[in-house]
Amino acid sequence: MTAKQPLLSVQNLHVKVEDKEILKGVDLNIYAGEVHAIMGRNGSGKSTLSYTLIGHPRYVVTEGKILFKGVDIVEMTPDQRARNGMALAFQYPVAIPGVSVSNFLRASVKAIRGKDVPVKEFRQELKAQMKKLGVADEFLGRYINDGFSGGEKKRIEILQLALLKPALAVLDETDSGLDIDALKIVSEGINNLSNPETAILLITHYQRILNYVEPQFVHVFQDGRIVKSGGGELSKELEARGYDWVLQELTSSAVS
């Protein structure tokens, strides 16, 4: 153990969904101040990892550990994990008709901060963040994700994280479906989440967002585990050469 303890330490994580093993031994350490990216083919298990981190009941940990701030969180409910400082921006956020964005934001900010924020103060903070992310006022009165376009959903996810200020933000394909301008704005939002006390785990298919949000570590996900890790340059190499290259390299190194 180094002097510094990782913010998140995933150790030999195996996860089953409906009796099918999806994660097959994930190892990943993330320290405060770091930005990590995970790339990998469709269906390789990236979202499964993100759901498991935040504690979706459908994903059952069969082996291994998830240490967050040094504590094993596998038995914790999602709300406990959230209050502990973890947040996930979903690839497919669900709609909740009848629950307005503003009501929900207030409730969740209150839950995470452990105290009610005065209405006026909250509105100011909210308005400032909305402005940064280019979210129009009318969204406050709309129902969560109900009828939102793909890009709007992603912006609102980042808006929530901006208010909740998690120690670890997991972003599952937050860049998918964003137009060029939105990508820039949302990337800035993501960068604003990052500081020496926090860390970001970004799941993406595209090099483009990594031009704005620069990871120090890039991991390649394949068949339920991380098969290759490298620095920021790895993503460019992946973009140029595709996933087959990683796999070929893996098999050839295994052979040699």
Ligand X SMILES: Nc1ncnc2c1ncn2[C@@H]1O[C@H](COP(=O)(O)OP(=O)(O)OP(=O)(O)O)[C@@H](O)[C@H]1O
Binding positions for another protein, rule: CB under 8 A: 54-57, 77-79, 81-83, 87-88, 90, 93-94, 96-100, 103-104, 107-108, 111-112, 143, 160, 164
With CB under 5 to 8 Å by kind, the binding choice for 77 among another protein, ligand X, Mg ion, none is another protein
Residue number of the CB closest to ligand X reads 47
What are the phi and psi torsion angles at 16 (to 5°)? -110, 145
Residue 198 makes CB contacts below 8 A (sequence gap 6+) with 32, 33, 165, 166, 167, 168, 169
With CB under 5 to 8 Å by kind, the binding choice for 16 among ligand X, another protein, Mg ion, none is none
With beta carbons less than 8 A apart as the criterion, state whether 23 and 15 touch. yes
* Whole-angstrom distance, CA of residue 56 vs CA of residue 78: 7
With beta carbons less than 8 A apart as the criterion, state whether 50 and 172 touch. yes
Which C-beta is closer to ligand X: that of 40 or that of 93? 40
Which of these ranges, 35-43, 71-79, 132-140, 228-236, lies near ligand X under the rule CB under 6 A? 35-43
Residue 79, token pair as written in the block: 């709300």
Q: Which of 46, 81, 155, 219 binds ligand X (CB under 6 A)?
A: 46
State the residues that interact with ligand X by CB under 6 A: 17-18, 20, 22, 40, 42-48, 58, 91
